């Protein structure tokens, strides 16, 4: 689901730094009207090429380490540990790209909402977004006051004690409405099916299908699909992988499937989808390590201030 969500991102498109350059803020701000992900602003900065990109902030004694893997027998992600023969001292480094002391706010013109640096381990709540929300440079609204509305203009302001300032603006998209009554309860992945929705404006639209939970009760070949539609489209047709036609799954195989439709604002679409390859979306999602990139919806730095909205339904998938 992380892939299907952020494959709607595309390539960050960072360019390499060849010479010394002035430090600038490098951000990714998302106003989300999608219940699967909270609004956030990740704040990094570019660095000149003369200095280091990290600093040692402490030391730690290591006795064991842990790793995570997907257990196909249980259909869950599990953790395992291994112990070292002898403990050793390791240094703890911290990236200098991270901005920890920014003042971040988003305003709708009448009220201003503070976003506080709030990295956290959300692996127990949502495995797929844990790397995003554990980023040391992530800022979120922690007082619960920020509830973004569709078709509303918002502005972003970021300042730092060392004099950096970045501003941004966007208009949130409408909320999509899937015509769920036109979709049967159980869908065969080996047969084409249509997902339709009401027309709510000319928005760039993505659709993802996939397992509806972290626990994969049964694997159904071809359940995960992605589509990108033109503004004004109101229908998406599934596809059938030829490999799945040859897969001999039992007739009793069934899995819960989530279908999520998203509208993207112009900033998000232009930055992630308009020109670059979608394939490298995941590796480039977290703010590029100090490289110079494009800027959409912002002034005074690099990155993007974008928005998305979503509607989703759940069905069952069979081969």
C-alpha to C-alpha distance for 178 and 202, rounded to whole angstroms: 15
C-alpha to C-alpha distance for 131 and 165, rounded to whole angstroms: 26
In a domain, 273, yes or no: yes
In a domain, 272, yes or no: yes
In a domain, 210, yes or no: no
In a domain, 76, yes or no: yes
Q: Which of 110, 84, 96 is nearest to 52 (CA)?
A: 96
Helical spans, DSSP H, in the chain: 2-6, 130-133, 242-245, 266-272
C-alpha to C-alpha distance for 259 and 312, rounded to whole angstroms: 5
8 A C-beta contact, residue 192 and residue 240: yes
**Structural domain ending residue among the three candidates 40, 73, 93:** 93
Domain that holds residue 75: 54-93
pTM of the model: 0.78
In a domain, 281, yes or no: yes
Task: Assess whether 28 and 127 both reside in one domain.
Answer: yes
Tokens representing 106? Answer: 């988003």
In a domain, 63, yes or no: yes
Cα dihedral 141, 145, 150, 153, rounded to 10, equals -70
Task: Assess whether 124 and 162 both reside in one domain.
Answer: yes
Collapsing DSSP to helix, strand or coil, 162 comes out as coil
Residue 42 has a CB neighbour count (10 Å cut-off) of 24
C-alpha to C-alpha distance for 230 and 73, rounded to whole angstroms: 40
In a domain, 229, yes or no: no
Tokens representing 239? Answer: 């596809």
Give how many domains the chain has, as a whole number. 2
Question: How high is the pLDDT of residue 280?
Answer: 38
Task: Assess whether 167 and 70 both reside in one domain.
Answer: no
Q: How far is CA 281 from the centre of its chain?
A: 9
Question: How high is the pLDDT of residue 133?
Answer: 83
Task: Assess whether 133 and 67 both reside in one domain.
Answer: no
In a domain, 209, yes or no: no
Question: How high is the pLDDT of residue 291?
Answer: 40
Collapsing DSSP to helix, strand or coil, 55 comes out as strand
8 A C-beta contact, residue 180 and residue 316: no
pLDDT along the chain (319 residues), means of 10: 38 39 86 93 78 61 69 67 72 75 97 94 56 87 96 98 95 97 93 96 94 66 91 95 77 86 94 58 37 79 94 93
Task: Assess whether 30 and 130 both reside in one domain.
Answer: yes
Question: How high is the pLDDT of residue 9?
Answer: 38
Beta-bridge mates of residue 105: 114, 157
């Amino acid at each position: 689901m992380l892939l299907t969500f952020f494959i709607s991102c595309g390539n960050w498109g960072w360019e390499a730094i060849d010479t010394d350059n002035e430090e600038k803020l490098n951000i990714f701000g998302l106003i989300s009207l999608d219940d699967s992900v909270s609004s956030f602003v990740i704040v990094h900065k570019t660095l000149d090429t003369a200095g280091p990109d990290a600093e040692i902030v402490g030391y730690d004694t290591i006795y064991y380490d842990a790793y995570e893997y997907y257990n196909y027998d249980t259909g869950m992600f599990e953790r395992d540990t291994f112990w070292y023969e002898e403990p050793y001292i390791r240094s703890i480094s911290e990236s200098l790209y991270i901005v920890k002391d920014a003042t971040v706010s988003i305003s709708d013109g009448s009220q201003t909402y503070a976003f506080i640096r709030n990295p956290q381990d959300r692996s127990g709540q949502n495995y797929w977004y844990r790397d995003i929300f554990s980023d040391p440079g992530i800022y979120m609204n922690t007082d619960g006051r920020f509830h973004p509305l569709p078709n509303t203009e918002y502005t972003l302001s970021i300042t730092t004690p060392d004099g950096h300032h970045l501003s941004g603006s966007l208009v949130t998209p409408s909320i999509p409405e899937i015509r769920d009554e036109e979709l049967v309860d159980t869908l065969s992945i080996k047969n084409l099916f249509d997902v339709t929705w009401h027309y709510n404006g000319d928005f760039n639209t993505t659709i993802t299908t996939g397992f509806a939970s972290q626990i994969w009760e049964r694997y159904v070949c071809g359940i995960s699909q992605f589509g990108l539609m033109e503004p004004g489209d109101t229908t998406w047709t599934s596809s059938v992988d030829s490999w799945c036609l040859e897969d001999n799954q039992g007739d009793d195989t069934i899995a819960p499937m989530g279908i999520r439709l998203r509208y993207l604002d112009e900033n998000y679409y232009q930055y992630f989808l308009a020109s670059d390859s979608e394939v490298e979306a995941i590796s480039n999602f977290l703010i590029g390590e100090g490289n110079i990139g494009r800027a959409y919806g912002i002034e005074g730095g690099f990155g993007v201030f974008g928005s998305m909205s979503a509607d989703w339904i759940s069905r069952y998938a069979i081969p």
